[in-house]
Amino acid sequence: MNMKVRTQTSFFTTRLSTVLCLFLLIQGCSFFGGDEEEAFDVPAELVDFTPMLDVNREWKTSIGKGHEGQDLMLRPDTDGETIYAASFDGNVMAINMKTGKRLWRENFDMSFTAGPTYRNGILVLGTNDGELLSLDSMTGEIIWMSEVTSEVLAPVAIKDDSIFVRSVDGNLASYSASNGTLEWISSHDVPRLSLRGTSAPVVISNAVICGFDDGKVTAYDLTDGSLLWETMLTPPGGRTEIEKVSDIDAPLVIFGNEVYAGSYQGALTALAIESGNIIWSTEASLYSGMDVDDDVVYASEADGTIRAFSRFTGREVWKKETLLHRYPSAPAIVGNAIVIGDLEGYLHWLSKEDGETLQRTSIGSDKITSSPLVIGESIYVQTDGGNLFSVKAPNQSSR
């Protein structure tokens, strides 16, 4: 039986137990194999450093019950003035981004596992029961609710009047943003073993692009779901089923005319948006994700290594192992630094130039799975414990 299946009952019996075993094996042991004595790798100790920038905590608010141990990437979104956030236990909140004051709060009898995504006055969220929910961003009232084919673990993408949803059973589907009706659906095979997680779809021009558990990045026409191109990042390798896992769960990043994709136990790859042709590819193992600027791709690898690559050639610019086995979030670029969360609730600011630590601050003891949301000098972080923090790092010093 595939690990990602359509029914809720089978998800919480067969798939969850198998995934937990897989994660115990993979996260407990070295992400790249390793000997038995290397099992249960200890997180790297935090080393002393000379602070190079000031960080101020602005406000904190509780969104709802946490989701510790489930590695959900619930992440806030914004319309530029308001922060929207959701919790696993059914809360959705709108918060003034400057003051942290709650504007409205609604609770629903469902478990949110993806979102919210804001666009054009609506918020869209996914649940572990395969529900898709559209809310009025001004009031939190339900506009419509639809069923999708299985659990939703990645934020949706919205373009014009269409919502694009990636579900754990390998489907990518388009739904009407007006009423939630299904417009088209396309399916990918799901390997017998796969990690818990899915890559979020991204839209550009006439295409929606998504990564899948079979290691392929695929582009579809927005209007009818017809195939535009499909590229395998790396062929499955290894001798065991675990060694062959090569999911694309890290969010894709579009920058310029390229789409950047990373697979677990596979590669970080730059693809041409128009054709899917590989521009460059380098060996890497990504799960949480990356960020990109004009010149460099910054990536958090599955074992906690942070690496920077030339955006044009894929050549490694620098590599740091200061967060080894600390399960870092995807990096987010803020000024002259990248900011990364870890399993103990620390935020780490690393220099874009050489990866040296510029600052470190604790926002509690809960793990930070989702990448920080950066808006100007402010950084918004939702922890796995259900809290939302706003911190600011003004007047950064370049190195």
Cα 303 from Cα 297, distance rounded (Å) = 18
Euclidean distance between the first and final Cα of the chain, in Å? 52
- Residue 106: phi and psi, rounded to 5, are -130, 150
pLDDT tens for the chain, residues 1 to 399 = 333 333 333 333 334 334 434 443 444 443 434 444 444 689 999 999 999 999 999 999 999 998 877 778 899 999 999 999 999 999 999 999 999 999 999 999 999 999 999 999 999 999 999 999 999 999 999 999 999 999 999 999 999 999 999 999 999 999 999 999 999 999 998 877 778 889 999 999 999 999 999 999 999 999 999 999 999 998 777 777 787 788 999 999 999 999 999 999 999 999 999 999 999 999 999 999 999 999 999 999 999 999 999 999 999 999 999 999 999 999 999 999 999 999 999 999 999 999 999 999 999 999 999 999 999 989 999 999 999 999 998 765 443
Residue 134 CA to residue 172 CA, distance in Å, equals 18
Are 116 and 92 a contacting pair, CB within 8 Å? yes
Q: Which helix (H) or strand (E) covers residue 17, if one does?
A: helix 16-28
Distance CA 264, CA 143 (A): 37
Amino acid at residue number 172: L
- Quick one: pLDDT at residue 395? 60
Helix %, strand %, coil % for the chain, to 5? 5, 45, 50
Torsion of Cα atoms, 261 then 267 then 268 then 269, to 10°: -70
Domains (ranges, CATH) in the chain? 8-392 (2.130.10.10)
Distance in angstroms (rounded) separating the CA atoms of residues 193 and 62: 35
Q: Which residues pair with 36 in a beta bridge?
A: none
What is the DSSP secondary structure assignment for residue 25, as one 8-state letter?
A: H
CA distances in angstroms from 351 to 230, 319, 320, 395, listed in the order given: 35, 12, 11, 14
pTM of the model: 0.89
pLDDT tens digit sequence for 321-354: 999 999 999 999 999 999 999 999 999 999 999 9
